[in-house]
Amino acid sequence: MSNNKPAQKKPSSPYLQPDVVAKLGSMELRARLVVEGFITGLHKSPFHGFSAEFSEHRQYRAGDDLKHIDWKIYGRSDRFYVKQYEDETNLRCLIAVDQSASMGYASPGMVTKFAYASYLAAALSYLILQQRDAAGLATFSTDVAQYLPPRSALSYLHQLMGALEQGQPSDSTGTATALHHLAERFTRRGLVVLISDLFDDPQQILQALRHFRHQRHDVLVMHVMDPREVDFNLGSPAVFRDLETGLEITTQPQQIRAAYAATVEDFCTTIKRGCYAQNIDYVRITTDTPFDVALREYLVKRRRIR
């Protein structure tokens, strides 16, 4: 299982940084540059084997036809890999992106949680399709807003990117209900990657996740939070506004920081333990986390499903 807070290392590419990716012109460009930066980093890391798995390559063995050697990989890594060809899709993956009201939040200098989730979903879609698996997308708030069933054609990427470009946070939240509705639509066994801040009753969230497990889906939960939602380092005084009702209150963050931190940690721990009890992988990430952290979590999960 994944640790609660993955260790962050300096990314090998600037295109793994959320603030850099946010400045790029299109979702498809973001996806491509994030994944290319990720793969470059894997070639230089102890996770090198993952890059070969992604690229549908394997190490050269004596007797292999030299025409199948990928010289571009050799130029980057000084290692010989041969291309492999698979005709059948191995995995159906549905990426579920939360666009409820709370996902629109961003503290100063950060991208919104929804933007981070969208960029991550775009990169995952690109990665999955390059692996010749099937990628699909669902966006939701109180109900399923968009649903694109998993397909393996590379041409499907354009449709997935378009759906992500069109998405935006709503003015309401109903995560658990929406996930139940999604489970009723995604019936053929596969992998569900949920990208959400999970701002709903934790027991209802866990019950909805159980719905996916009941249908024998594998599940990976990526719990996205803004850094200030974790450390509550907001300065003094601070104005808090409910993203759904518009209600505002002014308070001194230092006075309630300890109680707030304990409440957040209890919430996250409840979700994490509930996921582990159902054999669901859970990782908590903040919107300043380089994208390679989440992509590596996906590859770890993908490897276990094989």
Q: Please give the average per-residue pLDDT across 90-102, as a whole number.
A: 94
Calpha distance 92→229 (Å, rounded): 33
Pairing of strands 92-98, 134-140: parallel
Q: Where are the alpha helices (DSSP H) in the chain?
A: 18-21, 27-43, 48-54, 71-77, 113-130, 156-166, 175-185, 202-214, 227-231, 253-277, 291-305
More confident residue, 41 or 202: 202
User: Do the Cβ atoms of 34 and 130 come closer than 8 Å?
Assistant: no
Rounded to two decimals, the pTM is: 0.80
**Is the per-residue pLDDT at 88 higher than 50?**
no
Calpha distance 122→30 (Å, rounded): 7
Q: Residue 290: is the preceding peptide bond cis (ω within 30°)?
A: no
Report DSSP letters for 223-254, one per residue.
Answer: EEE-HHHHH----SSEEEE-TTT--EEEE-HH
**Is the per-residue pLDDT at 118 higher than 70?**
yes
Mean residue pLDDT across the chain: 85
Q: How confident is the model at residue 255 (pLDDT cuts 50, 70, 90)?
A: low
Q: Which domains does the chain have, with CATH numbers?
A: 14-28+87-305 (3.40.50.410), 55-83 (no CATH)
Top mean-pLDDT range of 41-55, 57-71, 93-107: 93-107
Share of the chain above pLDDT 90, in %: 61
**Is the per-residue pLDDT at 1 higher than 70?**
no
28 contacts: CB under 8 Å, gap ≥ 6 = 122, 157, 158, 161
Question: So what's the pLDDT on residue 248?
Answer: 60
